[in-house]
Structure 1
Amino acid sequence: MDERRTAIRMKVLKTGRIAVSEKAPKIECAVRNLSGSGACLQVHSGTFGIPREFELLLDGGLRHPCKVVWRTESRLGVSFA
């Protein structure tokens, strides 16, 4: 499989939250790897119903607007917009 990422991802295990909108409940996720241009998110409740674009909230107040590049039943590959 050819590597198509523009930045090397570092393996991490951080807690994150997916924010679909300001009023909707946040969806807990685990950040499995991370770079300056994207991340792999593991969603224990499943990825069904998560829209193509959302905001990723990380500890320390970091916020990343995201676009889904690929998805499985429990993981999302996202690029930072």
Structure 2
Amino acid sequence: MTDHRRETRQRVFLKGRIVFNNGSSSFDCLVRDLSGSGAGLVLSDATTLPQVFDLYIPQKDRTYRASLCWRREDGIGVVFEEPVRAAPAAIDTETALRHRIAELEAENAALRRLLAGMAQSSAA
């Protein structure tokens, strides 16, 4: 079987939600592989899908506009209509993670000081 993908997909195991009919219809799916330009999805049953729909991936907090590319018994393949810009997202994610780590380290230090104060109070 020839692979016509523009990018190599990374194997993942993510929960997804397919949304269509202006948000009035939706159902869960499993994202099995993902790249910046498309994804492979596993559906719980043979569902009728429109040609274009939104794919929401909660763990990435990202919604992709997807077009149905292929369908087989074991799932579907989609192409994202707008390419994902991986580099800026990675930088933003890295900055957010560093900020969150700094917040957690400060909170951890404050809790240690509080515990040390409580230990001194109970020893006295």
Identity among equivalent positions (%) equals 34
Unaligned runs of 5+ in 1: none
- Show the counterpart of 1:52: 51
Change (3 A) 1:79 1:23: closer
Q: Secondary structure at the match of 1:26?
A: strand
**Which one has the bigger strand percentage?**
1
- Show the counterpart of 2:8: 8
RMSD: 1.4
Q: Secondary structure at the match of 2:25?
A: coil
CA drift of 1:73 comes to 3.3
TM-score (norm 1): 0.89
Q: How many residues align?
A: 80
- Show the counterpart of 2:39: 39
Contact 1:44 1:74 in 2 (8 A): no
* Matched residue type, 1:44: S
Stretch of structure 1 that moved more, 20-29 or 30-39: 20-29
Unaligned runs of 5+ in 2: 82-124
Higher Rg: 2
**For 2:42 and 2:23, how far apart are their aligned partners in 1?**
22
CA drift of 1:24 comes to 1.9
CA drift of 1:53 comes to 0.6
**Which one has the bigger helix percentage?**
2
